[in-house]
Amino acid sequence: MPKTYNQRQIDQIRLEDAHTPQARDAPDVTRFIRYFSSEEVRQIVRRLEQSVAAGKVTQLKPETAYLVVQALRGWNAKPSRDSIVREICGVPGGCKNRCLNCIGKANAIMQLYEGKTVRD
């Protein structure tokens, strides 16, 4: 049986969502958010791959479609190097002196986004 969120968790998700900048016309999708176990995600991927290989049309439930949207957002994300430096820098107030340690880490992260191996 898949795990569902309790009311406290749903309230927390809604609170976080209220503080997340959204597009102007973004619909409220919090009712479609649910937990998917790793095995459930693997099964969804397997079924989608089989449908694609067979040339079939796939219909998704709203909960599954939301999961796919989140995955596509993550896949499509490409932050700028400066925004990565700003997020990983441990200096209060940000990396004003552009420390080489933070820039090096940001460069490695950018290379990962481009599909390159950073360390062997």
Residues 69 and 87 in one domain: no
SS3 70: helix
Does 69 lie in the same domain as 11? yes
Contact 64, 54 (CB under 8 A): no
Place of tokens 């976080």: 16
* Tens of pLDDT, residues 75-113: 777 788 878 887 887 776 666 666 788 888 888 888 888
Residue 118 lies in a domain: no
Identity at 9, one-letter amino acid code:
Q
Question: Do 66 and 85 fall within a single domain?
Answer: no
pLDDT at 1 > cutoff 50 = no
Structural domain of residue 100, as residue ranges? 81-113
- Average model confidence (pLDDT) across the chain: 79
The verdict on 39 and 12 lying in the same domain is: yes
Top mean pLDDT of 6-10, 36-40, 85-89 is at 36-40
Tell me the per-residue pLDDT of 49-58, one tens digit each, with 9 for 90 and over. 999 999 999 8
Of residues 69, 73, 105, the one with CA closest to residue 90: 105
What is the SS3 assignment for 3?
A: coil
* 1 part of a folded domain: no
Look up the pTM and report it. Answer: 0.49
- 119: in domain: no
